[in-house]
């Protein structure tokens, strides 16, 4: 299969969250299954040409956006640990310091036009390279206009006649909703601004394009696939998702063991594995030292997270003092919402020496927390898939999660009688439930034999991409097999 994978972030070139990790890992695993795949992504200002050996393919390629022609330079690199070509689109719309927001954390004013340009440029790149794609795989709202443009503009061109699209919803909470004026320069005919099409309460909704027009939709866990069909989790798009429920598949991510693996991790003080976990204690003291915490055997709770309401940080703040009174240590690494950052910093002051809050994006420290903490806390309000709970399990760090989305699919409550289970799970968005669950975890930790058993359970789980890749392969086949059966409709 000839697959074009489009994403606005790809590790190691650019990253704000889990999308970057999986935009590298899914293509790698699909290549291993014998598919031909390449990636198309923006060229941001911070991407280092020398470091990644990027070569200029061609300068000044014209991209028609509305009445204007925008010029882009096309660069090419290789995704590490693969032979996958990555094409970088360089143009003033995308070539910025931030991926989505400026230095002050404010979304770029021309956000709508930035990504309209990117979606259009994807077609230009394919035409320029004469790449006949079987499938264009698009991810989240930033690339979700591809199915719409394919069906409205490009479907009759020779190169795209047979092309199918897959749209993956990584997070339905972010949809790309803009006033119609913001997209005026793109000259999208007004007939497409109705509620049946891209219109959304007098605005335009980019994610709707993926949901309505992709040949097949996936999301990142089976539970989330069900959740987004409900009012509670669908963020207003549930009725459109319901209509496409037969074309919707939930596939849990795997994790990349070349990056997240305590036996080879270069960032941690001492490597260890499931057969000999002793090194974990050394990683814990190393973390305590770095964070200015007392070196002790007190339970150490860790968090690495975007600081967004979605992640349940408010719940943690509600129980913070009570939780610290359980005689624990607490480490958090995160960036995002300013109010949450401030509230957390206040707690750090109050519990000086027991609690450390690092407002930063720091991959090395993220690895050290995964290895050094005893418990990983992830009480998300919603969580499409979540990677950190899986990373923590690989590092023998016990997850506490809320039963939602991918967390529900990957963590099962530990049963002290049968010694089965992989963490601690609570149901309601409720501070008391969260506190009780934290307490349950702390209690179990005072029983070293049971705790070790739980660590063994989690460290032996196979989260490799091979499992997910098989599902991806099935989904890709499905969309291609339906070729010919369904005549392609234009919009």
Q: Summarize as ranges the residues that interact with ligand ADP (CB under 6 A).
A: 17-19, 21, 304-306, 333-335, 361-363, 366, 385-388
Residue 414: CB minimum distance to ligand ADP, A: 21
Tokens of 99: 């991926």
Residue 380: CB minimum distance to ligand ADP, A: 8
CB 88 within 8 A of CB 76: yes
The residue (of 116 and 303) whose beta carbon lies closer to ligand ADP is: 303
Which residues, at least 6 apart from 275, have a Cβ–Cβ distance to it below 8 Å? none
> What does the alpha-carbon distance between residue 332 and residue 344 come to, in Å, rounded to a whole number?
9
The residue (of 191 and 461) whose beta carbon lies closer to ligand ADP is: 461
> What does the alpha-carbon distance between residue 227 and residue 26 come to, in Å, rounded to a whole number?
23
CB 376 within 8 A of CB 400: yes
Tokens of 128: 């320029």
The residue (of 91 and 310) whose beta carbon lies closer to ligand ADP is: 310
Residue 334: CB minimum distance to ligand ADP, A: 5
Residue 10: CB minimum distance to ligand ADP, A: 13
Tokens of 373: 């903490």
The residue (of 122 and 220) whose beta carbon lies closer to ligand ADP is: 220
Cα 265 to chain centroid distance, Å, stands at: 21
Give me the residues paired with residue 304 across strands. 333
Residue 188: CB minimum distance to ligand ADP, A: 29
The residue (of 19 and 99) whose beta carbon lies closer to ligand ADP is: 19
The residue (of 151 and 368) whose beta carbon lies closer to ligand ADP is: 368
- What is the sign of the dihedral through the CA atoms of 334, 338, 340 and 341? positive
Residue 16: CB minimum distance to ligand ADP, A: 7
Comparing every residue's Cβ against ligand ADP, the nearest one is 18
The residue (of 110 and 314) whose beta carbon lies closer to ligand ADP is: 314
The residue (of 220 and 444) whose beta carbon lies closer to ligand ADP is: 220
Give me the residues paired with residue 255 across strands. 464
Residue 123: CB minimum distance to ligand ADP, A: 27
The residue (of 35 and 221) whose beta carbon lies closer to ligand ADP is: 221
Residue 166: CB minimum distance to ligand ADP, A: 19
Residue 275: CB minimum distance to ligand ADP, A: 25
């Amino acid at each position: 299969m000839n697959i074009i994978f489009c994403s606005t972030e790809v590790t190691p070139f650019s990253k704000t969250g889990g999308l970057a990790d999986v935009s590298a890992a899914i293509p790698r695993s699909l290549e291993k299954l014998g598919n031909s795949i390449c990636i198309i992504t923006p060229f941001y200002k911070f991407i280092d040409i020398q470091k990644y050996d990027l070569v200029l393919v061609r300068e000044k390629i014209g991209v028609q956006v509305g009445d204007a022609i925008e010029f882009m330079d096309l660069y090419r690199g290789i995704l590490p640990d693969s032979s996958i070509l990555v094409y970088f689109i360089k143009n003033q719309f995308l070539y910025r310091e931030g991926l989505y927001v400026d230095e002050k954390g404010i979304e770029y004013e021309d956000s709508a036009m930035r990504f309209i340009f990117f979606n259009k440029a994807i077609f230009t790149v394919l035409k320029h390279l004469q790449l006949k794609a079987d499938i264009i795989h698009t991810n989240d709202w930033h690339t979700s206009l591809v199915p719409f443009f394919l069906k409205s503009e490009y479907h009759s061109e020779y190169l795209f006649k047979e092309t199918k699209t897959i749209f993956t919803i990584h997070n339905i909470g972010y949809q790309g909703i803009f006033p119609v004026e913001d997209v005026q320069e793109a000259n999208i005919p007004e007939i497409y601004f109705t509620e049946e099409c891209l219109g959304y309460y007098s605005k335009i909704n980019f994610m709707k394009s993926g949901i309505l027009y992709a040949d097949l939709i996936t999301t990142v866990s089976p539970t989330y696939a069900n959740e987004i069909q409900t009012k509670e989790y669908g963020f207003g798009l549930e009725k459109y998702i319901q209509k496409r429920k037969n074309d919707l598949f939930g596939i849990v991510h795997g994790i990349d063991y070349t990056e997240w693996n305590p036996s080879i991790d270069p960032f941690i003080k001492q490597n260890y594995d499931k057969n000999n976990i002793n090194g974990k204690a050394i990683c814990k003291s190393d973390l305590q030292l770095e964070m200015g915490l007392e070196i002790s055997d007190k339970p150490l709770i860790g968090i690495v997270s975007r600081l967004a309401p979605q992640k349940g940080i408010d719940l943690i703040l509600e129980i913070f003092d009570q939780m610290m009174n359980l005689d624990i240590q607490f480490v958090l690494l995160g960036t995002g919402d300013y109010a949450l950052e401030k509230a957390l910093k206040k707690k750090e002051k109050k519990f000086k020496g027991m609690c450390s809050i690092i407002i930063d994006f720091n991959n090395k420290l993220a690895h050290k927390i995964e290895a050094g903490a005893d418990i990983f806390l992830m009480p998300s309000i919603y969580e499409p898939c979540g990677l950190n709970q899986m990373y923590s399990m690989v590092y023998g760090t016990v997850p506490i999660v809320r039963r939602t989305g991918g967390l529900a699919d990957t963590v099962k409550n530990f049963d002290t009688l049968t010694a089965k289970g992989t963490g601690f799970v609570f149901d309601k968005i409720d501070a008391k439930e969260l506190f009780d669950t934290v307490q349950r975890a702390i209690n179990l930790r005072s029983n070293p034999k049971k705790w070790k058993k739980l660590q063994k359970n989690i460290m032996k789980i196979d989260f490799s991409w091979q499992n997910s890749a098989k599902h991806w392969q099935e989904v890709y086949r499905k969309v291609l097999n339906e070729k010919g059966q369904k005549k392609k409709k234009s919009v």
